[in-house]
Chain A
Amino acid sequence: EADIYQTPRYLVIGTGKKITLECSQTMGHDKMYWYQQDPGMELHLIHYSYGVNSTEKGDLSSESTVSRIRTEHFPLTLESARPSHTSQYLCASSARFPGQENGYTFGSGTRLTVV
């Protein structure tokens, strides 16, 4: 079954550590996105990609970086985690024209806690 997968689901890590949040999709979607969401708050776009070797920063400034070497894979990296990075990170993917039914799909998220 086509889907979008994020790992890990939960991560507790110490300040200064490097972390990579994984996101993969099996739907063949060209576009992929990373959102940051604090508890009870709205989603904020931090990175997006329209295809391989294409990455752009989103509306909310983030110290994280992303890469898109393969269509299905869009990892997010924090070189040096800080407590201010504590949040939920949601990955999404969309078809070329996301007006299609089910054309914009979210993963289950990674809840990151930096201590």
Chain B
Amino acid sequence: KNQVEQSPQSLIILEGKNCTLQCNYTVSPFSNLRWYKQDTGRGPVSLTIMTFSENTKSNGRYTATLDADTKQSSLHITASQLSDSASYICVVTRMDSSYKLIFGSGTRLLVRP
């Protein structure tokens, strides 16, 4: 079964601290993996996209890693800010004629002052 599992479900950290969110997937065949940030009541915004051959990609204070062998990805947030409070969604695209996106349930991050 094609699945995307994220952990933790929710996380609270203090402003300025770093954190790492995890994503494990069983989607096959694999096309790419995306991390999205979704503010409450808004649509998801893409942070990074990685293909099979890429194992790390950065976007400002966000760094995503991908281990295609173990089918694991992580999103590391450095020097967190209050505006980082949001849900972070891991999405894997299945490589078939439909290029179907499989969504994780997200990690809800709260950054406190």
* Residue pair B108, A106 in contact (C-beta under 8 Å): no
The interface residues of chain A lying within 8 Å CB-to-CB of B93 are 98-99, 104
Shortest Cβ distance from B88 into chain A, in angstroms?
Answer: 12
* Residue pair A102, B46 in contact (C-beta under 8 Å): yes
Query: B76 at the A/B interface (Cβ < 8 Å)?
Result: no
User: CB within 8 Å of B: which of A93-108?
Assistant: 94, 97-99, 101-108
Query: B45 at the A/B interface (Cβ < 8 Å)?
Result: yes
The interface residues of chain B lying within 8 Å CB-to-CB of A97 are 99
The majority secondary structure among interface residues of chain A is: loop
Report Cα–Cα, A111/B106, bound state, in Å. 19
User: CB within 8 Å of A: which of B28-68?
Assistant: 31-32, 34, 36, 41-46, 49, 51
Interface size class of B (residues with CB under 8 A): 20 to 34
The interface residues of chain B lying within 8 Å CB-to-CB of A92 are 43
Binds B, one of A40-48, A69-77, A78-86: A40-48
* Residue pair B103, A99 in contact (C-beta under 8 Å): no
Contact of B34 among A88, A90, A104, A108 (CB under 8 A): A104
* Residue pair A99, B99 in contact (C-beta under 8 Å): yes
User: CB within 8 Å of B: which of A6-35?
Assistant: 6
* Residue pair A106, B45 in contact (C-beta under 8 Å): yes
Contact of B42 among A42, A103, A108 (CB under 8 A): A108
* Residue pair B105, A90 in contact (C-beta under 8 Å): no
Contact of B32 among A99, A108, A109 (CB under 8 A): A99
* Partner-B contacts on A (CB < 8 A): 6, 40-43, 88, 90, 92, 94, 97-99, 101-109, 111
